[in-house]
Amino acid sequence: MPTPTRLIKYYGGVPRRLFLTKGVGQFFKALKFFALDGKHFSPSFEIHVHPRMLGNFTQEGWKETLLLIAEMMIRYPNVKLLQGAAWFYDPKIEKVSPHLSYLRKIPLSGGAITLFASHDEGAKSSALIKSGKRKKLYTEGLYLPATYYLLWSRKKIINWYNDNK
């Protein structure tokens, strides 16, 4: 399903390996999320950036996308959470590329969490392709792109929607 900035697909679930990718702190963060908020690993809506949608890749476009996703959650009560994986959910982006921090901050303000997934080639190529600054920091060893998962429970995204519509 298209939205202004993302493609949304109905997806089977969250990888359980996220519990183990960054030590005890992340294990308990994920455990708390699924015990108190998420309650289920699936089914979920999964978000993807599509190159043709980059023109709407703005704070306003992101907020509009999240509002539409929340409306879809209301219409599809079997969907338990929203998930996505991207380099721009990395907490380091707030310092490396502060103009993109809204991509993480808006969902976090509504109760979403992020979990480290990996330092992989996909994160590296995506994070470095459009930014000379990130590429320079990477070359200097000051920034290592990482993929993070964004997880937002049904209950919390709908609460955020009700506060922001």
Supply the range of the domain harboring residue 110: 7-164
Say what the pLDDT of residue 24 is.
92
Examine the pLDDT at 119 and tell me if it is beyond 90. yes
pLDDT tens figures, 130-156: 899 999 999 999 999 999 999 999 999
pLDDT class of 55 with cuts at 50, 70, 90 = low
H-helix or E-strand containing 60? helix 59-75
In a domain, 110, yes or no: yes
Contact 137, 106 (CB under 8 A): no
Q: What is the mean pLDDT of residues 39-62?
A: 77
Q: How many domains does the chain have?
A: 1
In a domain, 160, yes or no: yes
What is residue 33's DSSP assignment? I
Q: Tell me the CATH number at 94.
A: 3.40.630
CA distance 32 to 43: 19
Average pLDDT, the chain: 88
Residue with tokens 């993070």: 148
Does pTM surpass 0.75? yes
H-helix or E-strand containing 161? helix 154-164
* % the chain with pLDDT above 70: 87
In a domain, 1, yes or no: no
In this structure, the chain runs to a length of 165
In a domain, 26, yes or no: yes
Contact 151, 33 (CB under 8 A): yes
Residue with tokens 């963060």: 29
In a domain, 2, yes or no: no
The DSSP-derived string for 123-158 is HHHHHHTT-HHHHHHHHTTS----EEEEEEEHHHHH
* % the chain with pLDDT above 90: 58
